[in-house]
């Protein structure tokens, strides 16, 4: 299938910041694969978006759905221009590193770190076929070692690890022209963020910025609203 504009894939795009990111990319003229672990959720979200928004099933912790979608996108489109690793779980505000349930920590890493890692690996062959490939890892200042304190142990460690992965991938993929960046959307009013944060449209805008960087743009960076954050 020929796309109008670049082809973008957003994980966890059925609600929250992922949905707003998919919507903004679609409004900019991207063909957007609106991914969700529940296909009905994906279809409902995509139906409300402008432009070309195509619902797809993807559970980032399920290797079968990751492999199947990568295969299907390869067959249907032959490439991928933008990958947004947005899906995440478990802002564990009540927990402490000293006595955290390590099964809970492992489950969190499974989505927030290994999910993004496995999706990126699966789609790399298709990203390499893009003239302007971009990977955006949706991270959080909770993962910044520079200011890290106690609390939210599973989430904070998962995002610090995602930041490290961002640096590794960016360095290894620089020769291929694939720009890889981590983006913190700020505190955003979603199911995860709770009430009081800024609107999803504002959180998504910094992700869209990283997804639409020119070839001369940064790689291996950590940003919020297009400005560098301390690691």
Q: Which of 37, 33, 28, 31 is nearest to 10 (CA)?
A: 33
Beta strands 222-224 and 31-36, pairing class: unpaired
> Which stretch, 34-42, 74-82, 95-103, 213-221, contacts ligand NAP (CB under 6 A)?
34-42
Q: Does 55 bind ligand NAP (CB under 6 A)?
A: no
Can you tell me whether residue 227 is helix, strand or coil?
Answer: strand
Hunting for tokens 């999803």 — which residue is that? Answer: 200
The correct pick among 37, 44, 128, 129 for binding ligand NAP (CB under 6 A) is 37
8 HSE (CA, 13 A, CB side): 34
Please give the backbone phi and psi of residue 106, each rounded to the nearest 5 degrees, phi first. -60, -45
- From the list 35-43, 68-76, 165-173, 174-182, the region that binds ligand NAP by CB under 6 A is 35-43
| DSSP for 200-224, written as a single string | HHHHHHHHHHHHT--TTS--S-EEE
When the beta carbons of 96 and 198 are compared against ligand NAP, the nearer one is: 198
Q: Does 15 bind ligand NAP (CB under 6 A)?
A: yes
Q: Does 17 bind ligand NAP (CB under 6 A)?
A: yes
89 near ligand NAP, rule: CB under 6 A: yes
7 in contact with ligand NAP (CB under 6 A)? no
Residue 170 CB partners (closer than 8 Å, separation 6+): 179, 180, 181, 219, 220, 221
HSE value, Cβ hemisphere, 13 Å, CA-based, for 84: 37
Contacts of ligand NAP in 143-202 (CB under 6 A): 184-185, 187-188, 190-193, 197
Q: Phi then psi for 14, rounded to 5 degrees?
A: -85, -20
# residues contacting ligand NAP (CB under 6 A)? 32
Instruction: Tell me if 18 contacts ligand NAP by CB under 6 A.
Output: yes
Nearest residue to ligand NAP, scored by beta-carbon proximity: 16
Binding to ligand NAP by residue 130, rule CB under 6 A?
no
Is residue 59 a contact point for ligand NAP (CB under 6 A)? yes
The minimum distance between CB 215 and ligand NAP, in angstroms, equals: 26
CA distance 132 to 144: 28
Q: Is 212 in the site for ligand NAP (CB under 6 A)?
A: no
Residues with active-site annotation: 155, 159
Question: Residues in the site for ligand NAP, rule: CB under 6 A?
Answer: 11-12, 14-18, 36-38, 41, 58-61, 86-89, 111, 115, 138, 140, 184-185, 187-188, 190-193, 197
């Amino acid at each position: 299938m020929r796309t109008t504009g670049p082809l973008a894939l957003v994980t966890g795009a059925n609600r929250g910041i992922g949905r707003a990111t998919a919507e903004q990319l679609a409004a900019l003229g991207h063909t957007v694969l609106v991914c969700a672990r529940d296909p009905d959720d994906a279809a409902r979200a995509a139906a409300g978006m402008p432009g070309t928004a195509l619902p797809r099933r993807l559970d980032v912790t399920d290797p079968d759905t990751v492999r199947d979608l990568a295969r299907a996108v390869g067959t249907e489109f032959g490439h991928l221009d933008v990958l947004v690793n947005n899906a995440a779980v478990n802002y564990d505000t009540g927990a402490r590193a000293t006595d955290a349930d390590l099964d809970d920590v492992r489950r969190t890493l499974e989505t927030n770190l290994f999910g993004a890692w496995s999706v990126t690996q699966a789609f790399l062959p298709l990203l390499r076929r893009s003239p302007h490939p971009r990977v955006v890892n949706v991270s959080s200042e909770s993962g910044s070692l520079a200011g890290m304190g106690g609390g939210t142990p599973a989430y904070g460690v998962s995002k610090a690890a995602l930041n490290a992965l961002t640096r590794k991938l960016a360095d290894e993929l620089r020769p291929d022209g694939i720009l890889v960046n981590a983006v913190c959307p700020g505190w955003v009013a979603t199911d995860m963020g709770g009430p009081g944060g800024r609107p999803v449209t504002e959180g998504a805008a910094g992700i869209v910025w990283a997804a639409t960087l020119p070839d001369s743009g940064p790689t291996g960076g950590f940003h919020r609203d297009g400005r560098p954050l301390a690691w």
